[in-house]
Structures are given as structure tokens and as C-alpha cells.
Amino acid sequence: MKKDQENIYEKLIDVSKLSRGLLLKGLLPYYVLGLLAQEKTYGKKIIDKIYQITRGNWKPSPGSVYPLLQRMARLGLVSEYIDDSSGHPKRVYELKDAGREVYKDMREEIRPRLKRTIELLSLHLEELEKDF
């Protein structure tokens, strides 16, 4: 692709979003509930774990994670408390039974959607690999 064609493409689509997890952002509640199903933890650790799970392809912002955790607390899916045993107070989140049920339901709902998304992306990839 010529340099001027690259610039046109960049004006049409924000390619940086493709590598920053644009497709994963809709899965944030699933990731958060899944991590809390494993252990109680605090927001920054959730962000770091998602970054690790996605092999560095996506690091959700605190501006996405913390409001989601607050919403989950208001909905009764997680409980929260302040832990200051380390000398630095941290808000710790723990999954409640209702959150475990929602996570279980999400897993069942997300599985077929992810399969369809993978199929669609595979079709697009095949099309991109064809010669003109």
C-alpha cells in the first residue's frame, strides 16, 4: 500500500482501536465477573489481570472498570469493603451469589455469540487474503 493510501485508510478507520481491544470492550462485565469468581480483589488488579489474560492486547481504563464495579455493587452482584491492612486503603470487591448466577448465565449467552463473531471475522480474513 502506498503512503498516501495509508493516510486515507487511517482517516476512514481508527486502526489503533483494532489493536486496543475494540472487540473485547463489550466483554468487560464478563471479564470482571469471571475474575471475581476466582478471588476477591481490587480494581487495579482486575485491570492488570485483563491485560494479562488478553496477552497485552487490551487494558481497560479505570474509567470503564470502576463505574462498572459500582454498578455491579448497586445491582447486588458484588460486595465491597475497604481493606487498609497494607497501610494503603484499597476498595476490595467480592462476588455475591447473585453475581455468580449472572456470570453463569453470561457464559451461556456469550459462547454462541463469540462463535458467530469468530465465524464472521474468519470470513472477513478470508476475503482480505484474496488477491484483487
Phi, psi of 83 (to 5 degrees): -110, 115
Across the range 54-80, mean pLDDT stands at 93
Check pLDDT > 90 for residue 16.
no
pLDDT at 7: 53
- Which carries the bigger pLDDT value, residue 5 or residue 90? 90
How far is the C-alpha of 70 from the C-alpha of 64, rounded, in Å? Answer: 11
**71: helix, strand or coil:** helix
* Beta strands across the sheet bearing 41-42: 41-42, 90-95, 78-83
Residue percentage of the chain with pLDDT more than 70 = 80
Say if residues 69 and 81 touch (Cβ distance below 8 Å).
no
Residue 94 confidence class, pLDDT cut points 50, 70, 90 = very high
